[in-house]
Structure 1
């Protein structure tokens, strides 16, 4: 019988600093859940949604406190969404695949995964530094850059990024910082610089602010979207950013993606900071997404053994999660 073996907190340093409008991070704490039956073992990783009040420690405690049946249906019914359920849900997917002798993609009825281009994040900084960072990312082969913005001086930042990497595609993430701005005017200015997507310009809970905004650049819900229950509130958005930690695991994320597509929404698959153990399940979800932003492990100073391969800005199939036991 499968049981929870452990739920442990690990700290991983960030390469330099990861800076957004809400502050800077020099490390990330993740919770790693391990389940097994004495023969087969599965692991899953979650990164706490800190703006929702989660911490890696509270997620580990929630996993340790779980007393329901250890199957994905029960876990998704009995645990609330968030990083704790994500770690446990993904550990169960990994365990089931190893026990069944097939990879997770096959177990889930998905097509065999192929390489996908991922965005690379340009942290919030002064324009000159963002220009240099964009140039360095383009040299590494990243053809899609995601720029963090703050609601002040954003046009100058994106103009600088465009100078540093004139041939790349650009998306931006305001992280809820445009509430006091003329959103339509700002979107038009960024459109002239080639920005193709604007992520979460308004605060969560103020989705009504986009109701009458006309923009040639689509808006993408991030903090405003966690699970299927949120879809009815997103009238001003034409795209959604699905993250496993928000949704509470691969099980809900797959269902959310299907429901969003049925409403005509475009899909971004994103992530929190974390290692390849947390990115690997999202890589399966990212197959066929309109935008992929799975650079969470690439922003760390180091990654765990069995990392997902990356070549010229492309995430490649591989790694140790979700594979059949030999």
Structure 2
């Protein structure tokens, strides 16, 4: 019988992580471990309050799966059935599925790429995300942290200070800027005015500027936005590509929202088949979660996998960043 274990780890951040809807100085992630007497697999869950996930309720969901036979599974097919009968939140589902796949790979001497039947990139260029901060401090922040080594910079913005923040970033950063509003705008016309004011800057694309529920508004934006629009909060564990392609030009797949490697691959494949650009993103995660996301980055348009770089103490050390590129250790 397999032994399963869950552990919560508080992760102190190097600075306050602020986006349009909340801010934090510490994150508590969960780590799932599955083992027999010889082999072990570990997976990570990064709870996201946007989807009503907390360390406490994800732990309860894990315990419920234990009560319903998680320790008795003998195959990935068994696990998929159990997870469909007692569906947990996506983040803990990913941690459980990835832990089991990592366990199987160790048991059989396979790489994750071999198991999934995909090519794994030798390295991945990542953007670096700036949290919302006082615009007057951002220039020093970029210089002090040598952020021009990254191929692109993602700027978290809100409606109130977004333009000032972008102006300050553009003054010291010569890289393309990704604008990430995390659903901050509610009025599409005000948003279009904001986007028009960005034309003097080197903007790569804009990520999820309005709530995921703003279906008709996104159709309007898709027709009139001067920049490509990427879906983030609009992409969870299911996507309706025929709807999304009328609203967005690309999708940001995050394994913590997809709920597993297998579903993450499916989302990327569906998006590509529909002519949407693909992006692999992350939450605030350790290098374990980032390592997992890197497995799916072959051929994607953009990778945003800097979540481990904002941790004060990164516990695994299995991904290294050099010159804005990520390498698996």
TM over 0.5: yes
**Deviations 1:71-110, CA, capped at 9 Å, x for gaps:** 4344445234511101001101110110110211121111
Q: Which portions of structure 1, spanning 4 or more consecutive aligned residues, are displaced by more than 6 angstroms?
A: none
Counterpart contact for 2:90–2:237, Cα < 8 Å: no
**Deviations 1:218-267, CA, capped at 9 Å, x for gaps:** 11111111023443442211111111111112121111111111111111
Deviation at 1:138, TM superposition (A): 4.1
Counterpart contact for 1:123–1:130, Cα < 8 Å: no
Uncovered stretches (5+) of structure 1, i.e. residues with no partner: 319-326
Residues 141 and 75 of structure 1: CA distance in aligned 2, closer, same or farther (over 3 Å): same
* Other-structure match for 2:237: 227
Distance in 2 between residues matched to 1:96 and 1:82, nearest whole Å: 21
Uncovered stretches (5+) of structure 2, i.e. residues with no partner: none
Is residue 254 of structure 2 the alignment partner of residue 243 of structure 1?
yes
Residues 102 and 29 of structure 1: CA distance in aligned 2, closer, same or farther (over 3 Å): same
Counterpart contact for 2:287–2:318, Cα < 8 Å: yes
Is residue 268 of structure 2 the alignment partner of residue 263 of structure 1?
no
* Other-structure match for 1:72: 76
- Hey, which of these two has a bigger chunk of helix by percent? 2
The RMSD of aligned alpha carbons is: 1.8
* Other-structure match for 2:20: 21
Residues 237 and 60 of structure 1: CA distance in aligned 2, closer, same or farther (over 3 Å): same
Residues 304 and 259 of structure 1: CA distance in aligned 2, closer, same or farther (over 3 Å): same
* Other-structure match for 1:107: 115
Is residue 130 of structure 2 the alignment partner of residue 131 of structure 1?
no
Counterpart contact for 1:140–1:312, Cα < 8 Å: no
Counterpart contact for 1:122–1:133, Cα < 8 Å: no
Residues 198 and 73 of structure 1: CA distance in aligned 2, closer, same or farther (over 3 Å): farther
* Other-structure match for 1:157: 165
Distance in 2 between residues matched to 1:224 and 1:190, nearest whole Å: 24
Is residue 312 of structure 2 the alignment partner of residue 301 of structure 1?
yes
Deviation at 1:135, TM superposition (A): 3.2
* Other-structure match for 1:173: 180
Distance in 2 between residues matched to 1:271 and 1:191, nearest whole Å: 28
Query: When the two structures are superposed, what TM-score results if normalisation uses the length of structure 2?
Result: 0.91
Counterpart contact for 1:105–1:113, Cα < 8 Å: no
Of the structure 1 ranges 126-135 and 149-158, higher mean CA displacement relative to structure 2 is found in: 126-135
* Other-structure match for 2:200: 192
Distance in 1 between residues matched to 2:240 and 2:52, nearest whole Å: 18
1:297 is paired with a residue of what secondary structure?
helix
**Deviations 1:132-163, CA, capped at 9 Å, x for gaps:** 22334445622211100001231221111010
1:228 is paired with a residue of what secondary structure?
coil
